[in-house]
Structure 1
Amino acid sequence: MKTEEVMSYYAHTKIEFNDMFTHRVPATINGMVHHSSTGCCSFVFPLSGQGYFTFDNVRYKLMPGMVLHINNTADIDMKPIGSEGCHYAVIYYDVEETVIAHDPFVISIDDYTTCQRAVEQMMKAFTTPGNISRVQTKAYFMQFISEMLVAHQRSKHVDREDAMSEALAFMRQYYQSGLTVTEVAERFNIERRRFAHLFERYTGINPSNYLIELRIQHAKELMRATDETIASIAEKVGYDDPFYFSRIFKKYTGKAPTAYRQCL
């Protein structure tokens, strides 16, 4: 959904805080965590870690710096990614009419910490008894929306050199989760081809190869330091398919993973 449409919606539509909760899902959980629809619109705000959030059979990969908006008919199914698990907040609100979007959409923000602080203050007020706390909760909810929209608007005009520097750090932090170039480009609100061009101009390497190099280097370190299976190592560096990992590893090192390990 276009930024201008989102801005106009929240500027002219009557909305009111309804409910919220935070949930911490460990990486070791089996299956999915299910949250039933409450009949309200909602925001899903990752506080730490990463996870897949599924609505109407469409899966969204979320991490800090991304906010997911859901309409008032959607159940939530969630599965954490990686070894950290996922800690997230779900914020429900009432609206006179659901005109913003029938499908979920993701809002990328550049100032994650400011929005997180608003969410934490909202949760603290919400869990404190008393009428003053109820008023404060509503105020923090509107502050959260304001901070989120300002951060989203600002992220669309961020200096490209700064964006590439941040993209490098972002990729180093999350490559083990199977991060793709498309997801990185979306995180920084840059069209994928444009992002690849800017990234290569800034770093001298295209982003796909950079992600592969990060994963291959980590895989080499794990082969030297552990006795883990090739399949386990593949998963830890961001590859779901160990056979595909083996092909990529051989392409970049000249040896299959098993042969490389035997030479150590």
Structure 2
Amino acid sequence: MKRPMETYYGDHFFRDDTMMYVNRNAENFSGSYHNHDFLEIAYIVEGEGFHHLENTVQRVRKGHIFYIPLGVSHVFRPTSANGKPLIVNNCIFSVQLLSKLIAFASDSDTASFLQRMQDGSLGYKSIMDQHDRFEKLFDSLYEQNAMPIRGSAVYLHTLLLQLVIEFSRAIEHLHTKPSELQHHSFQDVLQYVERHYMHELSLTVLAHISGFSERHLQRLFRRYTAQSWHHYLQTVRVRMSRELLRTTPDKVSAIAEKVGYKDIHSFNSVFKRNTGLTPGQYRSETRID
């Protein structure tokens, strides 16, 4: 039996000159099976369910990302009406917006990928988020769309371009030969450090999760960050502590512990060596009230 179909139009969603829209939706069984006259990148934020696409059904869970081209019929459904909700972030944008992004793209690979989206030669794609890169991007997109202020349209377009670049890289990663994966894998190491800097980290831990030897990891840190592993970790921790000093009333000792330092004296020493100021001096000069 042929199911009822709706067509969604971008003019109903787009605001002013943004030519894009971002929402966060709890899917249900009353949502319409539909196609649309805009492009869509969807991200599963929470839960599990199903993606009904044309004549196929795909099981989905947190971290799944989908690119849905023009005219493709689909709908998301939760696993059950009374179960855990299926939460989806949707970033929709006009094909006309891609001309602006193509003009801004400074490398041929990105411009070519955008061109394929524009002319319809890029078909439906499904990938998994690795190391929460896309989750953070969608959070930023949602916040910027929800609280429009001066420059929001440009900010949204910049974030969309970043989203497309990350998406194209993830697709390329799926088809990359093992011998060409080193820089991708080391990027994963850097992302791991960004998410676990507050814990006890060592080259031994990173070697275990990456498959690189400790000696080779040291070489990679020197090559790609111009720092030793030890100094890179310090840089990340100091950067995170600066944010906490500017934006929270937490005591310096509490902040030190939050970023991975159990000894306040070590934290003070590392912080001053990196910034030229003590944590207290930095807070006095930069505190956001």
Give the alignment's TM-score, normalised by structure 1.
0.45
Which structure has more RCO (C-alpha within 8 Å, separation ≥ 6)?
A: 1
Q: Hey, which of these two has a bigger chunk of strand by percent?
A: 1
- If you compute each CA radius of gyration, which structure gives the higher value, 1 or 2? 2
